[in-house]
Amino acid sequence: MSLTDRAAELDAADPLAAHRDEFLLEAAPAVTSYLDGNSLGRPLKATPAALDAFVRAEWGGRLIQGWTHDAQVGEGGWMDWPTDLGDRIGRVVLGAGPGQTVVADSTTVLFYKLVRAALDHALAEGRDEIVADTDNFPTDRFVLEGVAAERGATLRWIETDPAAGISAAQVAAAVGPRTALATFSHVAYRSGHLADGPAITAAVHDAGALVLWDLSHSAGSVPLALDAWGADLAVGCTYKYLNGGPGAPAFAYLARRHHGLLRQPVQGWMGHADPFAMGQGYRPDPGVRQLISGTPPIVAMVPVRAGVDQLERVGIDAVRAKSTALTSFALEVADELLVPHGVTVATPREPAARGGHVTLRAGDSGRDFRQTTARLWTEGVVPDFRTPDGIRIGLAPLSTSFGEVLDGLLALHRIVENS
């Protein structure tokens, strides 16, 4: 069967195919193959209407009263959005019970707050080491460098082979009695390697330390079970698979057993136990709300709500099933069209060991994949380039069709064949 027939067959049999029409595809008519939903998800058609309604009815209609009282439903207003939306993300995306997730800030800022909260607590017990891996996303590594310098902690780096990812055995060998915190990405931003969440969490706990997961590339793509893993802390983006839009606020998870014990350092009035008391002295909220510092970005939560609504309707297991089928198809096409030209596959072959994207490397072929990516963009095919030589094919299960994957990889094949 030709690849074209195969893509058509997969699209015809795809139970999620109709959800693609819920996206504003027509806004980017020149983009025939969007393969970067893991960097920035497409907007939903529901989003412009939801934003318009928010501005008119909520912001325009309720003005300052919107913060504290929702006249329509007779409950707290925007003050509750960070924890209400956090609870929904907890339930739909993270496998987390209520009261442990909050939406605010950026992933970088929430990561900083959680690292400091965990480290400061452990320093008091004589633990002064943070374990991390060299292939984690730059923002995480940079924040860790800063925190280590600020607090006099030591960083112990696990050298990771990007293709192999981080394993529980590597983590077990690196953690010890001085470890305060270990932190990893669940899905590696370059290779797409999917770490073993429960086993790594257990390995860190065996050393008496806490674990902080960066779920940016898993949230909305891979089923998660933070409570069941026994995870301590987690952060992640909402502008990727949750389609929250550029700069959408991040989420943070702090397991209930740590409430009141771990304290983040950016003490602002919105994380105070009683923000409107406006009294002397900071007293943190006893729950997850203490992770908030200043006024949370309410308007920017509107698109995230639409994304979580859609995911709740579809269910993360159905999303994961399509995600796996998409990555498998992308690898099948790559093997047939690109590997014979010296392109190599950086993503694990075993479906259970990868997340929602596939990375193809120029490898020994010596081709300049940065330039190739730029050329693809001019042709309406949009993957992204990641150093040193990878073209990353991001597959957002709710908005990407199998035909779109094939079109993009055929365009890449044409360039590779002629270079």
Ligand X SMILES: Nc1c(O)cccc1C(=O)C[C@H](N)C(=O)O
Q: Write out the catalytic residue numbers.
A: 137, 214, 239-240, 392
CA distance 147 to 118: 11
Q: Which residue is nearest to ligand X (CB)?
A: 189
Q: What count of residues does the chain have?
A: 419
Minimum Å distance from CB 309 to ligand X?
A: 22
* Residue from 216, 293, 324, 401 binding ligand PLP (CB under 6 A): 216
Q: How far is the CB of 251 from ligand PLP (least distance, A)?
A: 11
Residue 243: HSE in the Cβ half-sphere, 13 Å Cα cutoff: 25
Q: Which of 108, 167, 328, 365 binds ligand PLP (CB under 6 A)?
A: 108
**What mask of x and - would describe binding to ligand PLP in positions 170 to 189, judged by CB under 6 A?**
---------------x---x
Cβ proximity to ligand PLP: between 194 and 325 the closer is: 194
- 130 makes contact, choosing from ligand X, ligand PLP, none, with CB < 5 to 8 Å by partner type, with none
Where residue 214 falls (left for φ over 0; alpha for ψ -120 to 50; beta otherwise) is: beta
How far is Cα 235 from Cα 258, in angstroms, rounded to an integer?
Answer: 15
Among 148, 237, 255, 346, binds ligand PLP (CB under 6 A): 237
What is the pattern of x (binds ligand X, CB under 6 A) and - over residues 201-230? ---------------x--------------
- Residue 375, φ and ψ in degrees, nearest 5: -65, -40
Per CB under 6 A, 213 contacts ligand PLP: no
Number of residues lying near ligand X (CB under 6 A) = 3
Smallest Cα–Cα separation from 219: which of 328, 101, 129, 126? Answer: 101
Q: Are 55 and 36 in contact (CB under 8 A)?
A: no
Query: Tokens for 337?
Result: 């069209």
Q: Collect all residues with Cβ–Cβ distance below 8 Å to 73 and sequence separation of at least 6.
A: none
> Any idea which residue has 């380039």 for tokens?
385
- Give the interface with ligand PLP as residue ranges (CB under 6 A): 106-108, 137, 139-140, 185, 189, 214, 216-217, 237, 250
- Give the interface with ligand X as residue ranges (CB under 6 A): 39, 189, 216
